[in-house]
Amino acid sequence: MSKEKELEFFIEERNWPKGLSWYSSNFKGQAKIYGESSPNYTNYPRFPGVPARMHVIVPEGKLIYIVRDPVERMVSSYIQNYSDDRENRPIEEALGSLNHNQYLNRSLYYMQLKQYQAYFPASQILVITTEDLQNHRRTTLRKVFEFLEVNADFYCPWYKVRRHSTTRKRRKTGIGMRLAQTAPMKLLKRLPLRLRWPVEDLIYLPFSQKIERPVINENLRQELIGYLRDDINRLREFTGYNFEKWCV
């Protein structure tokens, strides 16, 4: 895998202008295959054109799309944005508008996949769920390895799936916000994410507050489920999975 997790190379507004040599420099050593993980590659229409750019560079690439219960994903995304001070609205206001809603679009999984189907055949796309990674780890990893045509028997008993958790999310206080604008903290942002995040967690701990996971009311939940249902049913047809534990 790439040294940094989210390269976001195929996004015009992010790292595409840096060029292919920059992208290649993120992959070291000798390996049969290389990979990277950038969730914003399925953030259409905010970031259009990703599949076309990807096809130009790696037309033979294999794509793994990791999905989860779509409403739970929306809540987690809201917490992430609230934690980063990109969201200040109550959750029901943020999720309540169904038109041009960034939270909703990211959970329209089939709509996101459809952007890739014009460039990549179904044989190069694998959909898996975070629920299966968590609860049926070995079977799911075998499926991934078979898809990638590497050793499907590989398994480390100590291997853990690092699921992105919102239970530890915190929001900076006013002092924390001002601290973030100081020169040393801006300099800290130049560190690789794997080093920066634990340091930031430690520094900002006294200047932040824990975020309690919000609960959306049942009327809004049912409205979201109704809006998502057709898209998720099309995802079921595409994958052959029933996603029986999802709310949709």
User: Residue ranges of the domains in the chain?
Assistant: 16-164+217-239, 170-210
Residues 98-117 pLDDT 10s: 888 999 999 999 999 999 99
Q: What is the mean pLDDT of the chain?
A: 91
Residues 128-142 pLDDT 10s: 999 999 999 999 999
**pLDDT score for 160:** 59
Q: Considering the domain 16-164+217-239 in this protein, what is its CATH number?
A: 3.40.50.300
Residue 9 pLDDT greater than 70, yes or no: yes
**pLDDT score for 130:** 95
Residue 172 pLDDT greater than 90, yes or no: no
Phi/psi at 171 (5° precision): -115, 130
Higher pLDDT, 172 or 25: 25
